[in-house]
């Protein structure tokens, strides 16, 4: 089915002619740097897309083909390659027409089809109120960027043209798109070094999000335009004369346009008036080489006095997006501040076009430099993906993504003088992991500028950092609250995930072996391996090892695993007409092993929802005694009461001693193989008293999925609190996890299950 954004009956000759004219602009741009064969391929893509979008119109009333052509024109201004331009022209055909991705692949090849597919997937994503499915889509976008950065370059051009024509949408959609652009796409363009795209996206978003402030800033800029241009002309004449004097006659001098959103941000952040913004008036000098950059800087400072603290050398220390330039602010003519940027032609192209400049180099050293710059621009993306694959929480994912996109940076030095770029608020641990994973894992301390500092120290611009390591040292879980870079967080979590998994795996295997020995099951049988594999599959684990890990972590009962394995073995044995004992010896699971062919299995009583069966009786009321709250796996005994069925106690319950004085009323009971019941568990907690302690524990238990039946608390003079909780659970595997996680609550230092003692007698049991 064709999904058309908007169809209209009237299609004028003028509209079609306008579309053709705009393609002529694209063709002319492409002809300036691509081969005739490439231009021919672009024309073929255009004709295909034009036919596919026939009869489709945008909300602005333009033929729909205008949009992909305009996107391609933006990319041609960036000098993108032929595949990218063709994918841009075709990027809406799969989403909005009857043509499929296979159609595109068959006609234009795999590369163009993959680019179109990547852009189509991004188009289906909206950043507002991320669901788990949308988080996966956003991850796909980042992965597509990592695999082929041209996907996001096309998407940025697509978003830029949409922002230019945003007025055609409803107001709520305009605001949504503008906010999405400001929060995601403009920072992405900045991260990828695409300054020309970033500035326009920000100004357009600013126009829709803050229309009154936009108009105010624009008015102030327009009111001072004539005086500003006169001032710039005077400064350029003086600077040209000075550069000619030192032999830099080939240097180019331009007035540097200031973007409205940038002016507004500086006014807002620095709480300054319009006239106080230093870089409102600026010049840009473009020279042929790096030595000429510094020579030009000397000429500028010889001509005008520099303002202290306003010089930045981004050539020696590039920004996170590989931006390079010299920045200085001087007191120019008429004692007014004047900001000057100095860079080479190559730096200027890279600063304006970012990763898009990578495809402009065909051979030689320029290509190698562009390739290195390209790889460095993607380092942050790959590091972010390493960590973000580990979290499924949408809010956490979005916060980390925005932090990665917006984060300012700090430059620090190794003892050998190498520059390490980190995000602001980084710590020595972030520095250690930026050097190497092993340096971070074995870190025990740090020196900054020759002095010992804590690992929580916030690194400052220019700090000289030395990491102290020991071979036997290892990360602490507390480090996760100290580090601020995705790379460091990812490496720390990977370390503990590996350790925890190995420990859980060994522990789980041990639990299974013990359970097998307890019940006389022979694990060496050739049929046990496939039985365990079937059990793992039925429980939705990838393999047997993953099932062992779950057992070791307390998320799965070893009894449940053995019971399922025994059932599988018994079923196989019956089908093969082989006695069960030939495979499983002395299995003590009641009501599991068939009593012989033709015999019916014992029916569970309608009144029995405890998971306990009584030997020799089918229809009898059974209840679990509250004096000891027995759970599956506990040794139990049954006691025939007067008019209240059978009460079940733990075998070591103090009340059981009284019950045994009436042996004629003792009856054999056992746990069923498969249990679907609700059980009461009592736990004992010790903690140091503090505000909202009880509230935190109750909320934790509620979030764990248990039903709290009762709670008692006692606070002693030494501020030690004793608490007893009785709660109901249907999944016994979570009890151990609850006990473990309860100890992590602030102030809690002990949590255990309450077991019967000789001092605890149930008065009700004595009366039976």
Q: Which residues pair with 714 in a beta bridge?
A: 722
**CA dihedral defined by 678, 681, 687, 693, rounded to 10 degrees?**
30
For the ranges 395-409, 627-641, 709-723, the one whose mean pLDDT is highest: 709-723
- What's the pLDDT score for residue 359? 55
- What's the pLDDT score for residue 550? 82
- What's the pLDDT score for residue 720? 82
- What's the pLDDT score for residue 400? 54
Give residue for tokens 């039976």: 768
Q: Which CATH class is domain 219-360?
A: alpha beta
Instruction: Using alpha carbons, list the distances in angstroms from residue 306 to 132, 233, 687, 740.
Output: 52, 20, 62, 62
- What's the pLDDT score for residue 607? 40
Residue bearing the bigger pLDDT, 94 or 570: 94
Percent of the chain clearing pLDDT 90 (strictly above): 16
- On the question of pLDDT at 589 being above 60, the answer is no
Q: Which residues contact 444 (CB under 8 A, 6 or more apart)?
A: 468, 469, 470, 473
Is residue 263 within 8 A of residue 221, CB to CB? The reply is yes
Rounded CA gap, 435 and 429, in Å? 10
Region 112-141 average pLDDT: 61
- On the question of pLDDT at 555 being above 80, the answer is no
Region 11-39 average pLDDT: 73
Res. 522 pLDDT band, cuts 50 70 90: low
Rounded CA gap, 230 and 333, in Å? 11
Percent of the chain clearing pLDDT 70 (strictly above): 74
Q: Which residues pair with 177 in a beta bridge?
A: none
Would you tell me how many other CB atoms lie within 10 Å of the CB of residue 103? 16
- On the question of pLDDT at 379 being above 90, the answer is no
pTM: 0.53
Rounded CA gap, 73 and 728, in Å? 66
- On the question of pLDDT at 585 being above 50, the answer is no
Res. 580 pLDDT band, cuts 50 70 90: very low
- What's the pLDDT score for residue 290? 92
Rounded CA gap, 131 and 475, in Å? 33
- What's the pLDDT score for residue 252? 92
- Computed over every residue of the chain, the mean pLDDT equals 76
Please report the DSSP string for 131-159 in residue order. Answer: -HHHHHHHHHHHHHHHH-THHHHHHHHHH
Residue whose C-alpha is closest to residue 209's, from 239, 180, 246 = 180
For the ranges 197-206, 249-258, 517-526, 532-541, the one whose mean pLDDT is highest: 197-206
Residue bearing the bigger pLDDT, 730 or 4: 730
Is residue 680 within 8 A of residue 629, CB to CB? The reply is yes
Active-site choice (96, 292, 407, 762)? 96
Region 641-657 average pLDDT: 77
Domain formed by 13-208, architecture: Orthogonal Bundle (1.10)
β 622-624/646-650 pair status: parallel
Res. 21 pLDDT band, cuts 50 70 90: low
Residue whose C-alpha is closest to residue 49's, from 92, 5, 9, 4 = 92
Range(s) for CATH 1.10.3210.10 in the chain? 13-208
Tokens encoding 116: 């179109």
- What's the pLDDT score for residue 42? 93
Multiple choice CATH, 602-768, 3.30.1300.10, 3.40.50.1820, 3.30.70.260, 3.40.309.10: 3.30.70.260
Instruction: Please write down the long-range contacts of 650-657, taking CB distance under 8 Å and 24 or more positions apart.
Output: 650/755, 650/756, 652/755, 652/756, 653/625, 653/627, 653/628, 653/756, 654/627, 654/756, 654/757, 654/758, 654/759, 654/760, 654/761, 655/625, 655/627, 655/628, 655/756, 655/761, 655/762, 655/765, 655/766
Residue bearing the bigger pLDDT, 510 or 108: 108
Residue bearing the bigger pLDDT, 338 or 635: 338
pLDDT tens by residue, 169-190 = 888 888 888 988 887 788 878 8
Range(s) for CATH 3.30.460.10 in the chain? 219-360
- On the question of pLDDT at 554 being above 80, the answer is no
Res. 598 pLDDT band, cuts 50 70 90: very low
Is residue 201 within 8 A of residue 189, CB to CB? The reply is yes
- What's the pLDDT score for residue 733? 67
Region 661-683 average pLDDT: 75
| Cβ burial 374-389 (10 Å sphere, 16+ → b, else e) | beebeebbebbbbbbe
Rounded CA gap, 757 and 755, in Å? 7
Cα angle vertex 605, ends 599, 606, to 5°?
135
For helices 171-180 and 150-164, the axis angle rounded to 10 degrees is: 150
Rounded CA gap, 553 and 550, in Å? 5
For the ranges 147-161, 619-633, 659-673, the one whose mean pLDDT is highest: 147-161
- What's the pLDDT score for residue 124? 55
Instruction: Using alpha carbons, list the distances in angstroms from residue 651 to 217, 224, 622, 670, 741.
Output: 82, 92, 16, 12, 29
Q: Is 96 a catalytic residue?
A: yes
Active-site choice (38, 62, 95, 696)? 95
pLDDT tens by residue, 458-502 = 998 778 899 998 888 888 878 888 888 877 887 887 788 777 777
Rounded CA gap, 26 and 30, in Å? 6
| Cβ burial 593-622 (10 Å sphere, 16+ → b, else e) | bbeeeeeeebebbeebebbbbbeebeebeb
Region 429-449 average pLDDT: 91
Q: Is 510 a catalytic residue?
A: no
């Amino acid at each position: 089915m064709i999904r058309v954004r908007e169809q209209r009956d009237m299609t004028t000759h003028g509209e079609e002619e306008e579309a053709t004219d705009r393609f002529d602009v694209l063709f002319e741009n492409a002809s300036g740097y691509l081969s005739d064969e490439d231009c021919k391929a672009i024309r073929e893509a255009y004709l295909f897309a034009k036919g596919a979008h026939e009869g489709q119109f945008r909300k602005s009333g333009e033929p729909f083909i205008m949009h992909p052509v305009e996107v391609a024109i933006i990319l041609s201004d960036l000098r993108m390659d032929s595949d990218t331009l063709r994918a841009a022209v075709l990027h809406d055909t799969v989403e909005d027409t009857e043509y499929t991705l296979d159609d595109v692949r068959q006609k234009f090849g795999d590369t163009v089809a993959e680019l179109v597919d990547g852009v189509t997937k991004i188009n289906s994503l909206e950043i507002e109120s991320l669901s788990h499915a949308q988080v996966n889509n956003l991850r796909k976008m980042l992965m597509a960027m990592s695999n082929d950065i041209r996907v996001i370059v096309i998407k940025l051009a697509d978003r830029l043209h949409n922002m230019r024509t945003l007025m055609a949408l409803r107001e709520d959609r305009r605001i949504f798109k503008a906010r999405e652009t400001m929060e995601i796409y403009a920072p992405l363009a900045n991260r990828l070094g695409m300054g020309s795209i970033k500035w326009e996206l920000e100004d357009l978003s600013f126009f829709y999000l803050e229309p009154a402030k936009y108009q105010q800033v624009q008015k102030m800029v327009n009111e001072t335009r004539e005086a500003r241009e006169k001032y710039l002309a005077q400064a350029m004449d003086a600077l040209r004369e000075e550069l000619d004097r030192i032999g830099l006659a080939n240097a180019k001098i331009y007035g540097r346009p200031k973007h409205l959103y940038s002016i507004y941000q500086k006014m807002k952040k620095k709480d300054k008036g319009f006239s106080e913004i230093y870089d409102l008036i600026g010049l840009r000098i473009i020279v042929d080489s790096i030595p000429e950059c510094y020579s030009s800087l000397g000429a500028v400072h010889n001509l005008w006095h520099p303002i202290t603290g306003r010089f930045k050398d981004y050539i020696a220390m590039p920004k996170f997006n590989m931006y390079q330039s010299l920045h200085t602010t001087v007191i120019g003519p008429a004692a007014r501040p004047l900001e000057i940027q100095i860079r080479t032609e190559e730096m200027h192209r890279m600063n304006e076009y970012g990763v898009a400049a990578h495809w402009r180099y065909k051979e030689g050293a320029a290509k190698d430099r562009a390739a290195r710059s390209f790889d460095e621009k993607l380092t942050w993306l790959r590091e972010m993906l390493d960590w973000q694959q580990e979290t499924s929480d949408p809010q956490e994912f979005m916060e980390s993504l925005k932090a990665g996109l917006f984060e300012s940076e700090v430059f620090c030095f190794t003892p050998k003088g190498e520059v390490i770029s980190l995000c602001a608020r980084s710590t020595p641990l972030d520095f250690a992991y930026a050097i190497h994973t092993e340096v971070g894992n074995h870190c025990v301390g740090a020196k900054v500028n020759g002095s010992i500092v804590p690992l929580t120290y916030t690194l400052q611009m220019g700090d000289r950092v030395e990491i102290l390591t020991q071979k036997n040292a290892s990360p602490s879980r507390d480090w996760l609250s100290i580090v601020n870079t995705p790379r460091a967080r990812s490496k720390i979590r990977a370390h503990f995930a590996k350790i925890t998994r190995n420990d859980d795996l060994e522990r789980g295997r041990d639990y299974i072996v013990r359970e097998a020995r307890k019940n006389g099951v022979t694990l060496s049988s050739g049929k046990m391996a496939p039985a365990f594999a079937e059990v793992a599959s039925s429980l939705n684990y990838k393999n047997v090892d993953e099932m062992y890990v779950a057992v070791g972590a307390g998320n799965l009962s070893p009894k449940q695993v053995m019971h399922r394995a025994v059932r599988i073995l018994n079923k196989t044995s019956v089908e093969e007409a082989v006695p069960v004992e030939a495979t499983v010896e002395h299995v003590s699971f009641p009501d599991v092993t068939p009593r012989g062919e033709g015999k019916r299995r014992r029916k569970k009583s309608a009144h029995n929802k405890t998971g306990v069966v009584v030997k020799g009786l089918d229809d009898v009321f059974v209840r679990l005694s509250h004096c000891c709250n027995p759970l599956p796996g506990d040794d139990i005994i049954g006691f025939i009461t007067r008019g209240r069925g059978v009460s079940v106690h733990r075998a070591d319950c103090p009340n059981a001693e009284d019950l045994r004085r009436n042996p004629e009323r003792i009856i054999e009971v056992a746990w069923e193989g498969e249990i679907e019941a609700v059980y009461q568990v009592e736990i004992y907690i010790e903690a140091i008293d503090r505000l909202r302690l009880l509230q935190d524990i109750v909320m934790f238990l509620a979030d764990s999925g248990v039903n709290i039946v009762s709670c008692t608390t006692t606070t002693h003079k030494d501020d030690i609190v004793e608490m007893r909780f009785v709660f109901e659970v249907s999944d016994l595997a979570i009890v151990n996890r609850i006990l473990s996680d309860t100890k992590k609550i602030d102030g809690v230092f002990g949590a255990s299950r309450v077991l019967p003692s000789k001092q605890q007698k149930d008065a009700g049991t004595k009366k039976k």
